[in-house]
Amino acid sequence: MDIKIIKVHGSNNDFYLIDEMDTKLSLTDEERSQLAINMCKRTGTEGADGILFVLNSEASDARMRVFNADGSEASMCGNGLRCVGRYVQEKLKKNNLLIETMKATLQVKKEPDMYKDIPTYRVEISPVIKATSALPMNTEMDEIINQKLPFIDENLTFTTLSVPNPHLISLVDKEVIHSDKQEKIATMLNGENDWFTDGVNVSFVSRLEEGSIFVRTFERGVGFTDACGTAMSASSLVTKWIDELADEAVLHVYNPGGMVLCQVHDLPDETWIDLIGNATYEYETVIQLNLDTLHVSFGERKVYKEEADAYSAFQQHAKAFVESKIG
């Protein structure tokens, strides 16, 4: 079976995008999971953090399903949503969209380029749930905001949050960012443990200057990624709470893959985050899928070189700024 795919990325969080709006694949969820494992394995020439399936929706412009590289399905993906938003926006010729995800229908809007020749999209990140039961987390605490958790680390403080993916966030200094502490904590909490039975995304956040933070994330089901959209959104909200920023604060959020903007809407009656960043096409190709074995063969690529070059320049600009602040 031949399937057209587009390799896309948001902040270098990369995916294979498969359009099922015109022709739906006859795959079970178990087969989609195995396809993600087979297709996303890093080989040096191919591989990705996951697959974005774009389907029709009865109530919205489209529906997004996200399968991680380990075969697990994510309830949401902010970087992936920007890429899906771009694809659907160009397909339907609409600048304002509603995209259905596992737990919420979210707004997507085309934005002016945030850097020269960088296609930019604003996506809604919600719902925001403070309750530890939403992660889920085995604890007697109803919510955890900037608290020490000695069973994880004796010195750091943590905040837990669902947006709706589960996140554990710690604001740290640059010495901790450069240590192996995050990897040890994240590996422990995404293996067999007593607290996060479904795993958790672990982010360390370092303040760079007023209005700018650096976020590095160990993503559940993936490992360390260049960026995680829901993690950057959640980290912005946590920074807003701890540093007592304005209710509609806008933060420049740097990550190993580049930079995004996060506008925090922390209002008396409602809280959500707008994630604003790139939706870049790397290449398109046709894969041959063996429906019996789910083995994939990749065809010749049509490369989007100008987009790749533009994003590379943007990434170097962001990297230089981060290095000037925290090394």
Q: Residue 28's CB: how many other CB atoms inside 10 A?
A: 9
Task: Say how far apart CA 200 and CA 160 lie, in whole Å.
Answer: 9
Task: Say how far apart CA 295 and CA 269 lie, in whole Å.
Answer: 49
Take residue 208 and report the two structure tokens written for it: 């760079």
Beta strands in 267-310 (DSSP E): 271-278, 280-289, 296-298, 302-303
Q: Residue 136's CB: how many other CB atoms inside 10 A?
A: 15
Q: Are 279 and 123 in contact (CB under 8 A)?
A: no
Catalytic pick from 40, 83, 228, 262? 228
Cα 170 to its chain centre, rounded Å, is 18
Task: Say how far apart CA 36 and CA 51 lie, in whole Å.
Answer: 6
Task: Say how far apart CA 236 and CA 277 lie, in whole Å.
Answer: 14
- Phi-psi label, residue 148: left if phi above 0, alpha if psi -120 to 50, beta otherwise: beta
Q: Residue 29's CB: how many other CB atoms inside 10 A?
A: 11
228 tagged catalytic? yes
Catalytic pick from 40, 77, 83, 262? 77
Q: What is the DSSP secondary structure assignment for residue 133, as one 8-state letter?
A: G
Task: Say how far apart CA 234 and CA 135 lie, in whole Å.
Answer: 13
Task: Give catalytic residues, as residue numbers.
Answer: 77, 228
